[in-house]
Amino acid sequence: MARPPKTDAKDTHRLILDAALDLFSQGGYAGASMRQLARAVGVRESALYHHFESKEAILRALLDELGPGQSRQLDAIDVPAVVKQLKGGKAFLKLIGRTLVELWATPKEQKIARLMMGEGPRLAALGVIDPRQEISLARSRMQRVLGELIRLEKSPVDAADATTAFMGPLIMLRALHLVMASGPPDLGAFRRDVDRHVDFFWRAMSKT
């Protein structure tokens, strides 16, 4: 099959990633074949290799933009400037919490979460990806952000400990409201729980 025209290449690239995410999250990475993926996209199997050299490359591309890969956005945050704009560190933390609610509630993020939680150890054993390394990188990015906030507030709290204390409950709330939801998620309740957590975290950090 001929290489897709340049005007269509970007769309085909996106279709491959979206179809792969559906297949990987539903039947597992190992259970999805390139032939199945080609059928889902509506192209010949050989056409997939014009965009990605392997199924592993497709998974890596997905993880670059979803799941822990989303933490790259933290690198661009100018913490002092945003805190000043929002008129306080507490408002800054609430913005982070609410942003995570909206992000985690998207269908793509829910699919990548199912894949990582269900397939993580197997993917590591296959040598495809190391989920622990991916999560550790995301944690280090959040630690940089919280470390800058701690310095602004002149708090003696350790940045690594603060990152665990801040993110741990958020991940628990994600599981409660999204992963284990029996029906459509109640995002209002999710936001309220996140706001309460931020209030508690801020008081604890400020008193230390």
Each residue's pLDDT tens digit, 8-28: 666 889 999 999 999 999 888
Cβ of 162: how many Cβ atoms within 10 Å? 21
Q: Which CATH number fits domain 1-65: 3.30.1280.10, 1.10.10.60, 3.40.50.300, 3.30.70.360?
A: 1.10.10.60
- pLDDT digits 0-9 by tens, 158-171: 999 999 999 999 99
Q: Do domains 1-65 and 66-208 have the same CATH topology?
A: no
Distant-in-sequence, close-in-space partners of 3: CB < 8 Å, separation ≥ 6 = 9, 47, 50
CB-count burial class (<10 Å; 0-12, 13-18, 19+) for 34: middle
**Domain 66-208 falls in which CATH fold?**
Tetracycline Repressor; domain 2 (1.10.357)
**What's the pLDDT at 20?**
96
pLDDT, average across residues 179-195: 92
Return the domain boundaries, the chain. 1-65, 66-208
**Residue 71 DSSP symbol:** G
